[in-house]
Amino acid sequence: MPQLERITLDPDICHGKPCVRHMRWPVEVVLDLVSSGMSVDEILADHPELEREDIRACLSYARLLVSGEPLRPAA
């Protein structure tokens, strides 16, 4: 799932929480914005460093976590 490449884990950024493209944008913060009722266009207007694909990636990441599916395919 190419969108998930936008979600990064780095122990030096946000205490290793999943973030958007190595930025200090934890997935949980993006999900909070969406769940607060903000539209994608509103989020992008308020935070121009984010891209539409970043928000989609956060949603895909959250869906995978709650589904129990593996985040990475087994080799």
Q: Is 90 exceeded by the pLDDT of residue 72?
A: no
What pLDDT shows up at residue 36? 98
Domain assignment present for residue 13? The answer is yes
Q: Is 90 exceeded by the pLDDT of residue 10?
A: yes
What pLDDT shows up at residue 21? 97
Number of separate domains in the chain:
1
pLDDT category at 52 given cuts 50, 70, 90 is very high
Give residue 31's domain range.
Answer: 2-67
Q: Which whole number is the average pLDDT over 57-69? A: 92
Domain assignment present for residue 73? The answer is no
Q: Which whole number is the average pLDDT over 45-49? A: 98
Query: Per 3-state DSSP, what percentage of the chain is helix, strand, and coil (rounded to 5)?
Result: 55, 5, 40
DSSP state of 53: H
Domain assignment present for residue 20? The answer is yes
Q: What is the CATH number of the domain that holds 21?
A: 1.10.10.10
Q: Which whole number is the average pLDDT over 42-50? A: 98
